[in-house]
Structure 1
Amino acid sequence: MNTPARTSGHPKGLYVLFATEMWERFNYYGMRAILVLFMTQALLFNDKFASNLYGSYIGLIYLSPLLGGYVADRFWGNKRSILVGGLVMAAGELILFACGSLYHSSPDLSTFLFFTGLGFMIAGNGFFKPNISSLVGQLYPDNDTRKDAAYTIFYMGINTGGMLGPIACGFVGNTGDPADFKWAFLVGAIAMVISVIVQKIYHNKYVRNPQGQILGETPGTGAPTVDPVTGEKHLTVPPPPKAMLNPVTIVLGMLCFSGVMVAAMYLDTTVNYLFYLLGGSFLFIIFYILSDKNLSKEEKQRIWVMVIIAFFVVFFWGAYEQTGASLTFFADRQTDKHITASYEMPTAYFQSFNSAFIIIFAPIFAIIWQVLGKKQPATPTKMGIGLILVALGYWWIAHGVDNVTKPVSMIWLTGMYLLHTWGELCLSPIGLSLFNKLSPIRFASLLMAVWFLGNAGGNKLAGVLSGLYPDGGKTTSFLGYQISNLHEFFMLFVFMAGAAGVILLLLSKKLQKMMHGIQ
């Protein structure tokens, strides 16, 4: 049997997954960089509507993998799900390209195409995103010391795409002429097609487990296990019904799922139900898990730690994800983007800063934690520090805009993104790892859903809070807090993220005890 080829100590399959994911993230972050600009400058949505729609879109992006992961595990397998999801996302970008081509001549049709394109993007993401990440660890034997390095390499692929996407899409689309936004969507579609081609050509050849078997095949079609006593062969997962693998069924299923996502997004812009759905789902899952009488006291306490962490994650992403919403407005309207007297940097370029900083600082943070060893802060403490760093980022930019009436230097946004990147490195990968460690095996998937629900809730909150952006001299308020200028707007996130960070730091020792030795 063939064994996976290796390059520099790692299977070549890792680099296939690296390239596939890099081009998909190029597409996603490139499109996100110009999304609210397209909504406000081409489709002429007001800031509040565009912000809320952005929050609904990103929130659903985090929810859709729950269905995509389930379908892959039970019916399609990772390989087919990645291919289908990638093609649906490419179709979504082409629909948005059509929207960008028709917005001036056919505004009603253009709006319909816009919601449809976003629905396709959400549905495709749900099948692409969770399935490619799950393949990385399967390339290696259990307890292989290369796994951590493999995920670091894969993480670099994500951020390489996240850095290059906004630059490329900003270069062709964010030119100052709203008619050019369509080219950014076309570039995103091309990137998505490249991602699918890489996966289609190289997956079977290189994406294999240590025994040489192709990863991500249809459930129930892999090598059977052999009973050591009787010698009987058994499939570990029963094969799916043939109808589930029929191309017509797959196409109709994805069209229906995309349609549901379009309806979910549109409905949220009118009745704002998504917060209640996320909150209700969160409480239902927790009640369902904790009602299991087979859980030990230690397991229940660890689950409560995850519930508390997921709650604080909402405040982190609610502040952090202003990147694609209010901070894009700020970069576009209140930031001096001139590099030279004759060249003004496109607004979209700012969204590449975070990924560039991650590429620079992720290895440094990994070295810091390694050097500190057992002296490093506990995970809840790290996450509290992450929230504090996000608050400091907003304090920095709030100071930069205080009593200023003209566009400010790029140094304020740049410094804020640097602090936010440090905060992300203290919270996001750390929290995901913690959920994997604390989850009882029988509830691992459901508790990972709790993590994603926290992320989704934070992104929806980001859209709602972005709608408070005080542009044009308007005054807004949030829970009695009056916002009449940019300084007061940014201080809202200082108070929110800072208070959450301080409370989490105060709870850290209690949470450590409830984790019962898991760090």
Structure 2
Amino acid sequence: MPHNLTPSTERNWFGHPRGLSVLFLTEMWEMFSFFGMRALLVYYMTKHLDMDQEYASLVYGAYAAFVYFTPVFGGMIADRWLGRRNAVVIGGITMALGHFMMASEPLFYPALATIALGNGLFLPSLASQIEGLYRDGDPRSKTAYNIYYVGINLGGFMAPLVCGSLGEWYGWHWGFAAAGLGMLLSVAIYLAGRRYLPPEPPRRERVATRPPVDRAVIDRFMLLIGIAAIVVVFRGAYEQTGNTIALWADQGVDRQLGNWVIPMTWFQAINSLVVFAFTPLLVARWARLARRGVETPWLAKMAFGAFVVGCSFLMLAAVEAWCEAHGTRASWLWLVAFFVLLTTGELYILPVGLGLFGRMAPEGFRATSIATWFFAGFFGNLLAGALGTLWSQLSHPWFFTLIAAVAGLSASLLYMLGRRIGDVEIHASAAVVLAR
């Protein structure tokens, strides 16, 4: 029996198994490296490599897309051949190599490809180990993904402050090097805490025990793909945070605070700060409602989150319209307010969606299922990159209005899908598949 499923009294962090802390810290430092590099990427391309904005937006979108594309194949490789533990270690080392390669301008494109390839093995293989930490029916598993999501964003909070400051003040390459060191620390933590994670069956056993791909499994994946397709639309809006929002922070925001100018990369840390500040409050609220028998449908939560994100961009449209009419730049406080509102919506859709894909995964296909969720990020980032090219062609108020409409469209689609299939059907279908 797995070590982490035996003692029900084994508690370490928020009353969860120790293995969740290991996965939390591993992902935290991986996200430190990822968001550290991402905070610098658009500025590095436009200010150091002298790319024009439209081309830089496309490169950014293509890179971010392939970060989410490679996990589809990485998840399959982990499920079928490597095993999740080996995939995490190999992927992490590969990503660290890519971050260090960013220090050389001629290796810019190969470095981006190396990071994306390593991420393909690392990302689904790490997240897919969460469900194995809990017995079937353990109520703690419902909030495990939200807690894991805090780890993602704790790393994302530190990254712009550390890597962004090093890049802006001492040189972009120092920021990329710090991101590489964060990735190495992530791998070291994972290796040190392996004994607390779900055991990895031998490859022969993994292949032998995998259930057949029958109609139930196909139907489950078709539903997941449908949800992922709507999330693609949502990410077209959400992924502007590291692209056009970063450009707006540099060009359209008054960052003066007394005699000091706030570094432009620091604002990207607000997103993660709000995540780990608000997540405990949301988890406690949902747990309190669950004890009273009140369960908000999964897709209704996600639809609400997309709607709130749309409102955050609509707020920026109004702010920019006022600023253009008065010939001034927006106060940095509006950028802070934007990230607070956007992140509040994010908490209702991204961690909830990740948890939904983890709980509905057919046995033997968990990493593949998680990879399907991340695959939505591939097309979503391609869409975000394409939309980002309009930044130089539209007025900023109209651009933000367009992005708000994209987020609103995803909210409507999620709501209609939830009304059509019903949350009860999701839980029932998941139970059938997981019981196989």
Q: Please indicate the TM-score interval, normalised by the length of the shorter structure.
A: 0.7 to 0.9
Q: How far apart, CA to CA, are the structure 1 residues paired with 2:72 and 2:307?
A: 30
What aligned pairs does 1:268-279 form with structure 2 within 5 A after superposition? none
Q: Residue 173 in 1 paired to residue 173 in 2?
A: no
Provide Cα deviations, 1:354-395, integer angstroms capped at 9, x if missing partner. Answer: 111111111222233333445444222222212211110011
Identity %: 33
Task: Work out whether residues 79 and 367 of structure 2, in 8 Å CA contact, stay in contact via their aligned partners in 1.
Answer: no
Judged with a 3 Å threshold, the aligned counterparts in structure 2 of structure 1 residues 26 and 448 are, in CA distance, closer, same or farther, namely: closer
Task: Work out whether residues 439 and 447 of structure 1, in 8 Å CA contact, stay in contact via their aligned partners in 2.
Answer: yes
Which of the residues 186, 189, 204 maps onto 1:195? Answer: 186
Which piece of structure 1 moves more, 485-494 or 69-78? 69-78
Any unmatched runs of 5+ in structure 1?
A: 100-109, 210-214, 221-234, 239-288, 471-475, 477-482
Amino acid aligned to 1:371: R
Cα root mean square deviation, aligned: 3.0
Task: Work out whether residues 72 and 368 of structure 2, in 8 Å CA contact, stay in contact via their aligned partners in 1.
Answer: no
Judged with a 3 Å threshold, the aligned counterparts in structure 2 of structure 1 residues 509 and 11 are, in CA distance, closer, same or farther, namely: closer
Q: Secondary structure at the match of 2:111?
A: helix
Task: Work out whether residues 75 and 367 of structure 2, in 8 Å CA contact, stay in contact via their aligned partners in 1.
Answer: no
Q: Residue 69 in 1 paired to residue 58 in 2?
A: no
State the 1:453 CA deviation. Answer: 3.0
Amino acid aligned to 1:417: F
Aligned length: 416
Provide Cα deviations, 1:397-451, integer angstroms capped at 9, x if missing partner. Answer: 1111114233211122222212211221121122233334556658766655543
Q: How far apart, CA to CA, are the structure 1 residues paired with 2:268 and 2:389?
A: 19
Query: 1:27 maps to what in 2?
Result: 33
State the 1:313 CA deviation. Answer: 0.9
Query: 1:417 maps to what in 2?
Result: 339
- Of structures 1 and 2, the one scoring higher in RCO (CA 8 A, sep 6+) is 2
Query: 2:174 maps to what in 1?
Result: 183
Task: Work out whether residues 92 and 120 of structure 1, in 8 Å CA contact, stay in contact via their aligned partners in 2.
Answer: yes
Task: Work out whether residues 75 and 218 of structure 1, in 8 Å CA contact, stay in contact via their aligned partners in 2.
Answer: no
Judged with a 3 Å threshold, the aligned counterparts in structure 2 of structure 1 residues 143 and 41 are, in CA distance, closer, same or farther, namely: same
Amino acid aligned to 2:153: N
Which of the residues 277, 299, 304 maps onto 1:380? Answer: 299
Q: Secondary structure at the match of 2:422?
A: helix
Query: 2:433 maps to what in 1?
Result: none
Q: Residue 461 in 1 paired to residue 383 in 2?
A: yes
Provide Cα deviations, 1:480-504, integer angstroms capped at 9, x if missing partner. Answer: xxx2x11111011122222332354
Q: How far apart, CA to CA, are the structure 1 residues paired with 2:150 and 2:57?
A: 29
Provide Cα deviations, 1:449-478, integer angstroms capped at 9, x if missing partner. Answer: 5433322111111111111113xxxxx3xx
Judged with a 3 Å threshold, the aligned counterparts in structure 2 of structure 1 residues 90 and 438 are, in CA distance, closer, same or farther, namely: closer
Judged with a 3 Å threshold, the aligned counterparts in structure 2 of structure 1 residues 495 and 444 are, in CA distance, closer, same or farther, namely: same
Q: Residue 50 in 1 paired to residue 23 in 2?
A: no
Q: TM-score if structure 1 supplies the norm length?
A: 0.73
Q: How far apart, CA to CA, are the structure 2 residues paired with 1:390 and 1:438?
A: 26
Task: Work out whether residues 317 and 455 of structure 1, in 8 Å CA contact, stay in contact via their aligned partners in 2.
Answer: yes
Which of the residues 230, 244, 250 maps onto 1:312? Answer: 230
Provide Cα deviations, 1:277-331, integer angstroms capped at 9, x if missing partner. Answer: xxxxxxxxxxxx9xx8x537x984x666444422321121000000110000001
Judged with a 3 Å threshold, the aligned counterparts in structure 2 of structure 1 residues 513 and 325 are, in CA distance, closer, same or farther, namely: closer
Judged with a 3 Å threshold, the aligned counterparts in structure 2 of structure 1 residues 147 and 399 are, in CA distance, closer, same or farther, namely: same
Query: 2:400 maps to what in 1?
Result: 490
Query: 1:97 maps to what in 2?
Result: 103
Which of the residues 412, 419, 424 maps onto 1:502? Answer: 412
Task: Work out whether residues 80 and 218 of structure 1, in 8 Å CA contact, stay in contact via their aligned partners in 2.
Answer: no
Q: Secondary structure at the match of 2:203?
A: coil
Task: Work out whether residues 236 and 406 of structure 2, in 8 Å CA contact, stay in contact via their aligned partners in 1.
Answer: no
Judged with a 3 Å threshold, the aligned counterparts in structure 2 of structure 1 residues 120 and 507 are, in CA distance, closer, same or farther, namely: closer
Judged with a 3 Å threshold, the aligned counterparts in structure 2 of structure 1 residues 62 and 517 are, in CA distance, closer, same or farther, namely: closer
Provide Cα deviations, 1:125-179, integer angstroms capped at 9, x if missing partner. Answer: 111111122223323444444434544443222211111011101111123xxx7
Q: Residue 347 in 1 paired to residue 264 in 2?
A: yes
Any unmatched runs of 5+ in structure 2?
A: 431-436
What aligned pairs does 1:124-163 form with structure 2 within 5 A after superposition? 124-148=118-142, 150-163=144-157
Q: How far apart, CA to CA, are the structure 1 residues paired with 2:86 and 2:361?
A: 28
Amino acid aligned to 1:416: F
Q: How far apart, CA to CA, are the structure 2 residues paired with 1:218 and 1:492?
A: 50
Judged with a 3 Å threshold, the aligned counterparts in structure 2 of structure 1 residues 434 and 195 are, in CA distance, closer, same or farther, namely: closer
Q: How far apart, CA to CA, are the structure 1 residues paired with 2:89 and 2:413?
A: 43
Q: TM-score if structure 2 supplies the norm length?
A: 0.86
Task: Work out whether residues 313 and 458 of structure 1, in 8 Å CA contact, stay in contact via their aligned partners in 2.
Answer: yes
Judged with a 3 Å threshold, the aligned counterparts in structure 2 of structure 1 residues 16 and 383 are, in CA distance, closer, same or farther, namely: closer
Q: How far apart, CA to CA, are the structure 2 residues paired with 1:60 and 1:67?
A: 11
Judged with a 3 Å threshold, the aligned counterparts in structure 2 of structure 1 residues 369 and 197 are, in CA distance, closer, same or farther, namely: closer
Q: Residue 512 in 1 paired to residue 386 in 2?
A: no
Q: Secondary structure at the match of 1:402?
A: helix
Provide Cα deviations, 1:104-137, integer angstroms capped at 9, x if missing partner. Answer: xxxxxx3xx1001101100111111111222233
Which of the residues 34, 37, 46 maps onto 2:43? Answer: 37
What aligned pairs does 1:208-223 form with structure 2 within 5 A after superposition? 208-209=197-198, 215-216=199-200, 219-220=203-204
Judged with a 3 Å threshold, the aligned counterparts in structure 2 of structure 1 residues 17 and 409 are, in CA distance, closer, same or farther, namely: same
Query: 1:365 maps to what in 2?
Result: 282
Q: How far apart, CA to CA, are the structure 1 residues paired with 2:3 and 2:423?
A: 44
Q: How far apart, CA to CA, are the structure 2 residues paired with 1:467 and 1:308?
A: 27
Q: Secondary structure at the match of 1:14?
A: helix
Judged with a 3 Å threshold, the aligned counterparts in structure 2 of structure 1 residues 77 and 306 are, in CA distance, closer, same or farther, namely: closer
Q: How far apart, CA to CA, are the structure 1 residues paired with 2:222 and 2:24?
A: 35
Task: Work out whether residues 432 and 451 of structure 1, in 8 Å CA contact, stay in contact via their aligned partners in 2.
Answer: yes
Q: Secondary structure at the match of 2:254?
A: coil
Q: How far apart, CA to CA, are the structure 2 residues paired with 1:94 and 1:45?
A: 21
Q: How far apart, CA to CA, are the structure 1 residues paired with 2:58 and 2:390?
A: 10
Q: How far apart, CA to CA, are the structure 2 residues paired with 1:143 and 1:503?
A: 30
Q: How far apart, CA to CA, are the structure 2 residues paired with 1:169 and 1:369?
A: 35
Task: Work out whether residues 438 and 515 of structure 1, in 8 Å CA contact, stay in contact via their aligned partners in 2.
Answer: no
Query: 1:389 maps to what in 2?
Result: 308
